[in-house]
Amino acid sequence: MLISNMEILPGKEVKTHLGLVQGSSVRAKHVGRDIMAGLKNIFGGELKGYTELLQESREEAMERMTQQAQSIGANAIINVRFSTSSVAQGAAEIYVYGSAVILE
């Protein structure tokens, strides 16, 4: 499955547009990560626990979007975009979406 944030892919032609596909993941903070983040806020530095949490969420959301595209017969997803939002205290959603297409 070809996945791109570009609208047009050089050397490829969109044969069929199959519509919007999407995936999301909602994750909550872990109390241990929260304690370490509090210390990092005092001393400074990367919040690695949160970085890992968001990376896992992005991967899961991408996998869900890809599965949806495969289920409708797409061989590519173009114009892919990410969105992040807070859904509750200590929980965030990663949302990814794009256009499922068949490329020639």
From residue 68, alpha-carbon distances to 20, 42, 101 in Å are 10, 43, 12
Structure-block tokens of residue 7: 């609208």
Residue 45: is its pLDDT beyond 90? no
Nearest 10 degrees: Cα torsion 18, 19, 20, 21: -20
Structure-block tokens of residue 90: 């200590």
Q: What is the pLDDT of residues 55-73, one digit of tens each?
A: 999 999 999 999 999 999 9
- Residues in a beta bridge with 13: none
Q: Say what angle helices 31-43 and 48-71 make with each other, to 10 degrees.
A: 130
Residue 82: is its pLDDT beyond 60? yes
Q: Is the pTM value of this prediction over 0.85?
A: no
